[in-house]
Structure 1
């Protein structure tokens, strides 16, 4: 241990006190030993250090910070160096605000387009997500503080996220859901990891020794600190045994006592606690070093310019019929859409940033040589129909040479804690677009949203610029793309299906009751669409440019591929070249192709550059469930260089001598997986893949409700008071939505409805403890007066103990 001498000076009580927070965002200190508290803050795309009372929902404003584009946007840059640059500037701002641990980046896979937090995640592909995350982490930690990669792991839905049991086979877990974390740990060298809320195959992730000890610590060699998600601790002793050091937020000392008693009773050895304390001390002391020198304020103007640069490289041009873009100088343009007046530039929930400034399209547009003939709102931001708004917009559009239409998803549609209900744009926006098309077909849509949407209306637009959620400087970045000052170079980090029903996980998302089954296994995103030959709207890796590129002269060696890339157009541009690998053997089921490398190259008109993409330890591997190791199959492999997952420009084959592991599967029992058509796998076939019978997916409505049951389950509680409270909650949600208070309605769902009962104790900072919660559960389970007496009795005990 690094700090053994210091730990030996601590009492058992002092050691235990370090294992949970001092308050909502700070760790505990031990002043007489020189151990200071450290500050943790949200910050995947901007620092959220709250000036007022702390909360986890983004209700209270935070200290101003630069709002960079979200991860879903920056992933479209396919530029690790740009990710590192974002991280560097995020880290600078964290240091200026005296934040030791920045809670991000998030690398969970985009298993399903409706996950409410997809705007915070990079990709449907683990290799791309991992590489981008590693860049962020290196940049953040170059400032001496810690990044905290999250949420470890398989946290791919928001509904019931604190209680859901994710059922996934080990190969899929390893290849799809852990690879990004592996890259973040090994290449990013993250100093901290955040465990997720959910269970993995029956065990909460922060208590899962297979996950936390065998994979994270032993296989990956991680020796940093593991931090719970806020309120994400279930059994504190099991979490400690698994190596989950820091529980956040504070429990007012309640769980510290659990640790002390467990050691005194011989349930755990004190050496286990010492090891956890040692890792936490390393996080504290290593991040404190940077604060020993005078702290300077960051240059907000320069950081704003960087945010603009990042947005410019992350915006994706999806359609450009008749070369309507870039807009001609002096072109008469009508600007329509509420998002032009009030930008949609970030997500909602714990990642809300209070921006240092915010560019406005209507203020900026005149400086770009565009002759704007006027602006109309066109639609109500939150979906209410208005024929008068449409009429005014159409009247303006008639007078224009082209229409710039700013549309997308509103702030309460994409939010932490809730999943989206569908993949559609609001009806009033589509109604507006259809009306505009009747009077002016020269429509350029600027789309702002952080996740995939359906586009049945796409035939009615000539140009489509997808800005994603492009941060506080996004408005100017979009205009630079529209006018050609910047040549678009972003490419999609996720596939756009034609409709939601085309996705492989649509039959198994979200898990509504006990568990969610990942029956589609490896086949998410382009791995499914390409293998099952399902048509898509826009493929993974797709994006247009104002120039053209030609690929030639592919050379494949045992270590790398090289090829030539020529700019055959009239403008300098950056091209994202993608390396895909497919195994020609059919003995083990696989996707037709998998991303194994990429390069972003700036090429001038007429210039040819040689591009090299190296192979690495992930190029040919697969996880073998029989040998329980990463293996390589002896086979011919197809090497593909593409401009997207379906636009393959160059191909070759290479023979690879494998590791001669035993074949892991019986083909006869897994027909859906060997065909790749894994969109509607039967329960029996999924269990053949798992190797065991899947647990029951539905609640046992006869059992009394317990700590890990949710408030939503009060609908069938034995206690009449609990059932009444449930119906009041449901009515309040419906009523608030009806009167347009969708943000408050969402908060009810995310912070109350789907909250497990233990969260009441874990997230109230000691106002309610677990013995008091026992009384609440008595009430819920039909013992109203007994439960009420128990609550008050335990409350008095707690207050008396606090006065000593």
Structure 2
């Protein structure tokens, strides 16, 4: 008996040792990720490695079924998890369980100027993406607002790289705590939709490093983003999705990025460049990114059979596919194979509360003659006018379209607050949201809607106008830029007609862009509102009524007219670009023209983007960057600097007391800008370097502190390819906006070169 037991124990021991020795590291969650990656890589065939590198459906790429390595599932977008599509078409899958919370657009998040809201946003949307079993969320977008005509500005976070970067970092961190990778986009210089797939951008190294790259760098280096999406456009003659300088030299070389580079859909154009220049996963080839289907099969992708064939022939090094496979495996181990990731949740009260809180803080009160907040007991009849008061603004817009479970419209929310005092008139029509073309509304229909609204306005005590832009083509919409800086669909004429019969007109326009306001001096108040999603109507109504005190600040400037914007000062060569030998034709989209021809575009304004241009060139904006009013008032007390001199190892603390001198609790965004008035290179009058959003009760004083370091003083020196600060005097500006400076100081920097 004892012998039999001993033999059994020995056999069990041998069997256990044998089995444990065969347990692959990639299945062991306790092993370091890099060991698991290398172990899995060593077990894969060449065909399996190549299969990782390209799509297998509209929104997934292959895993390694033989080794139990799962597929990678991706989803648009940065402000809501997109509905499901059929495997190989752009047709909706028709699921009944893919409705979600529509969060505010990222331009709304930027308008909060509140990193805590960015963290809440990332956490909430990450929980929804995890519940929907997504591994990669295609966002956030951090491209710079260069022109108010860019149809995709609403997906980004404004004109200032510091603001965009600070807001992106907590979004990325909290999103990825859910085991969902952020895919920061669109890298880089994707600052227009006109000709986005072909335009070849020329920009100075200084502008590249100071304006167009910092937000990406922060999201990657400080935020730890696991993914980056390449842009459609070209930079220095090479497509950004396989651009050697952007991906190899800067992203991986200078920033040490160890994540996964994914194309925008249809963004790959060459097998050799894709193999050698830093791209990992190719998505959507042989499509235009949104509307056409791939009839050639996924094995025809640049990083599919053509890549495999070149590897086998020795025309491309095996090290290239190993590098891609490592990056993709690392992504998989960080996401779908992370056994500690949470389960996620969908359309919860907490997510609706988060969307509401972000929306509340994003609304910007641009102008107010005292009519707001609107006290219902003062007015007998409230007329709401405008198509956006009832329109589902989650429809259209390209990849930003969403399928929300619930939507609160502005009209419904206003009726909830003010009851049967509210009457509605559409005022204008803009048709259904179409990708790539517009629905033309007969003029007689427009005239009739306008006449009806004006007739009702005569009988109303106050008018709330909810118009602006929408997600139609040539508005705030992917693939097309706006055609005009003015409001579309005859809205300027409609507003003029309304205010002519009733001066109590509150403008509550919804838009992801700045626009002209020829009627500004005639109306009573103006609110600037971005696309706020599920809870948007409630946020708008609560701000109008005063239940919420507005605290949003503009993340981009409002030029008086388009020619006041830097990108539109230097002719078509600076925007939208010109083909050699002939004039640019703005009526053609990328897909109507010969995509083999690349319009060339030079960023002639260089570093002077947005408020940097308005300040330095002394061209006043209609509403400045950082501007936003409140229903209370804030007094900036005497600010102090801890020192008058600073060396390259030192710092200066700046303190400023903020007192609420009004009768309502409110939040103020205190902004610190720095200027270098005497420098060997052109520098803007001032640049945003720090900000803080503080809540202040009536009569309360809050001390706000900032710390200025030598890094805040530096510019990118093209000759040395280094960030440098020259010794001399620097100016400190503290204010409520870039144009509303309340305190000014100076100090001397003693060293720097």
Matched with 2:469 is 409
Q: Report whether the alignment pairs 1:160 with 2:232.
A: no
Other-structure match for 1:26? 60
Where does residue 543 of structure 2 map in the other structure?
481
Q: Does 1:509 align with 2:575?
A: yes
- Where does residue 568 of structure 1 map in the other structure? 661
Separation in structure 1 between the aligned mates of residue 187 and residue 92 of structure 2, nearest angstrom: 22
Match in the other structure for 2:508: 446
> Do structure 1's residue 327 and structure 2's residue 375 form an aligned pair?
yes
Counterpart-to-counterpart distance in 2, 1:336 and 1:116: 25
C-alpha distance in 1, partners of 2:39/2:93? 43
Supply the distance in 2 between the matched residues of 1:346 and 1:622 (Cα, whole angstroms). Answer: 42
Q: Secondary structure at the match of 2:40?
A: helix
8 Å Cα contact 1:58/1:351 also seen in 2: no
Query: SS at 2:193's partner residue?
Result: coil
In the alignment, the residues of structure 2 paired with residue 112 and residue 490 of structure 1 have an alpha-carbon distance, to the nearest angstrom, of 21
* 3-state DSSP of counterpart to 2:496: helix
Paired position in structure 1 for 2:454: 394
Among candidates 169, 175, 193, match of residue 228 of structure 2: 193
Conservation of the 8 A alpha-carbon contact between 1:487 and 1:572: yes
Cα distance change of structure 1 residues 59 and 326 upon mapping to structure 2, 3 Å threshold: farther
The residue that corresponds to 2:673 in the other structure is: 580
C-alpha deviation, 1:245, in angstroms: 1.0
In structure 1, what is the Cα distance between the partners aligned to 2:395 and 2:338?
Answer: 29
- Partners of 2:226 and 2:536 lie apart in 1 by 31
- Verify: 1:285 aligned to 2:328, yes or no: no
Shift of 1:529: 0.7
Residues 334, 374 of structure 1: 8 Å contact kept: yes
**2:116 aligned counterpart, secondary structure:** helix
| Cα deviation digits, residues 153-203 of structure 1 (max 9, x gap) | 001111221121111111111111101111111121100111111111112
Deviation at 1:337, TM superposition (A): 1.8
CA distance in 1, matches of 2:241, 2:87: 27
1:133 to 2:168 alignment: yes
Distance (whole Å) between structure 1 residues aligned to residue 394 and residue 184 of structure 2: 23
Secondary structure of 1:652's counterpart equals: strand
1:300 touches 1:356 (CA, 8 Å); kept in 2?
no
Q: 1:345 to 1:243 in 2, by over 3 A?
A: closer
1:461 to 518, 523, 527: 523
Q: Secondary structure at the match of 2:169?
A: helix
Structure 1: distance between partners of 2:392 and 2:486: 19
8 A contact 2:385–2:425 mirrored in 1? yes
Closer/same/farther in 2, CA of residues 22 and 275 from structure 1, 3 Å limit = same
1:524-543 residue pairs with structure 2 within 5 A? 524-543=609-628
What is the aligned partner in structure 1 of residue 495 from structure 2? 433
1:13 matches 2:47 = yes
Q: Which residue of 1 aligns with 2:698?
A: 605
Q: Secondary structure at the match of 2:667?
A: strand
Indicate if the aligned counterparts of 1:134 and 1:188 stay in contact, CA closer than 8 A. yes
5+ long unaligned stretches in structure 2: 1-33, 286-296, 432-440, 580-598, 643-650
Query: Any residues of structure 2 matched to 1:716-727 within 5 Å, and which?
Result: none
Alignment correspondent of 2:630 = 545
Q: CA deviation at 1:65?
A: 1.1
The aligned counterpart of 2:30 is: none
1:370 Cα offset (Å): 6.1
Which string of whole-angstrom CA distances, capped at 9 and with x for unpartnered residues, describes residues 593-630 of structure 1?
A: 01111100000000001111233564111111111111
> Would the alpha carbon gap of residues 336 and 23 (structure 1) be closer, same or farther in structure 2, given more than 3 Å must change?
same
Measured in 1, the distance between the counterparts of 2:449 and 2:306 equals 61
Instruction: Give me the whole-angstrom Cα distance separating, in 1, the residues matched to 2:463 and 2:398.
Output: 33
Go from structure 1 to structure 2 and tell me whether the alpha carbon gap of 1:319 and 1:293 turns closer, same or farther (over 3 Å shift): closer
SS of the equivalent of 2:490 reads helix
Q: Output the CA distance in 2 between the equivalents of 1:523 and 1:529.
A: 8
| Residue-by-residue CA offset, 1:282-332 (whole Å, 9 max, x unaligned) | 101110145677846424333222211111110001110134434343522
The CA deviation string for residues 662-706 of structure 1, in whole angstroms up to 9 with x for no partner, is xxxxxxxxxxxxxxxxxxxxxxxxxxxxxxxxxxxxxxxxxxxxx
1:232-273 CA-to-partner distances (Å, cap 9, x unmatched) read: 112222222122111113762233233333333333322232
Matched-pair contact (CA < 8 Å) for 2:85–2:92: no
Question: Aligned pair 1:252/2:298, yes or no?
Answer: yes
* Residue 411 of structure 1: how far off its partner (Å): 2.3
Check 1:372–1:59 CA distance in 2 against 1; reply closer, same or farther (3 A cut): farther
Give the Cα–Cα distance (whole angstroms) in 1 for the partners of residues 95 and 620 of structure 2: 44
Q: What secondary structure, in the 3-state scheme, does the structure 1 residue paired with 2:638 have?
A: strand
More helix by share: 1
How many angstroms apart in 2 are the aligned matches of 1:440 and 1:492?
Answer: 28
Query: Which of the residues 102, 118, 121 maps onto 1:67?
Result: 102
Q: Is 1:169 aligned to 2:204, yes or no?
A: yes
Query: For 2:360, what is the secondary structure of its paired residue?
Result: helix
- Per the alignment, residue 643 of structure 1 pairs with 736
Contact 1:448 1:468 in 2 (8 A): yes
Q: In the TM superposition, what is the alpha-carbon distance from 1:572 to its structure 2 partner?
A: 0.5
In structure 2, the CA distance between the partners of 1:624 and 1:61, relative to structure 1 (3 Å rule), is farther
Residue by residue, what CA displacement relative to the aligned partner does 1:512-549 show, whole Å, maximum 9, x if unpaired?
43211111101110000110000211000000000111
Identify the range of structure 1 (419-428 vs 254-263) with the bigger mean alpha-carbon deviation. Answer: 254-263
DSSP 3-state at the match of 2:673: strand
Shift of 1:567: 0.6
Q: C-alpha separation between the residues in 1 aligned to 2:400 and 2:213?
A: 23
Q: CA distance change for structure 1 residues 192 and 402 in 2, over 3 Å: closer, same or farther?
A: same
Aligned length: 660
Moved over 6 A (4+): 56-62, 291-294
Q: Relative to structure 1, is the Cα distance of residues 553 and 345 closer, same or farther in structure 2, using a 3 angstrom cutoff?
A: farther
Q: Decide whether aligned partners of structure 1 residues 652 and 498 sit closer, same or farther in structure 2, where only a CA change above 3 A counts.
A: same
> Is residue 344 of structure 2 the alignment partner of residue 309 of structure 1?
no
CA contact (8 A) 1:58 1:348 kept: no
1:47 maps to which of 81, 91, 97: 81
In structure 2, do the counterparts of structure 1 residues 37 and 458 end up closer, same or farther at CA, with 3 Å as the change threshold? same
Cα distance in 1 between the residues matched to 2:179 and 2:344: 14
1:623 to 716, 737, 741: 716
In structure 1, stretches of 5+ residues that fail to align are: 661-804
Q: Give the superposition deviation at 1:102.
A: 0.2
Shift of 1:281: 0.1
TM-score (norm 1): 0.79
TM-score (norm 2): 0.84
- For residue 346 of structure 1, report the CA deviation from its aligned partner: 6.7
**SS of equivalent to 1:234:** coil
The aligned counterpart of 2:409 is 360
Give the C-alpha shift of residue 42 in structure 1.
0.5
Cα separation, 2, equivalents of 1:92 and 1:657: 49
Residue 182 of structure 1: which of 198, 203, 217 is its match? 217
Contact 1:335–1:372 (8 Å) recurs in 2: no
Deviation at 1:8, TM superposition (A): 1.6
Q: Does structure 2 retain, via aligned residues, the 8 Å contact 1:380–1:428?
A: no
1:579-728 counterparts in 2 under 5 A? 579-615=672-708, 618-660=711-753
For residue 534 of structure 2, what is the aligned residue in structure 1? Answer: 472
SS in 2 for 1:408: coil
CA distance in 2, matches of 1:428, 1:294: 49
Q: CA 1:425 to 1:494, structure 2 compared with 1: closer, same or farther past 3 Å? A: same
Aligned to 1:798: none
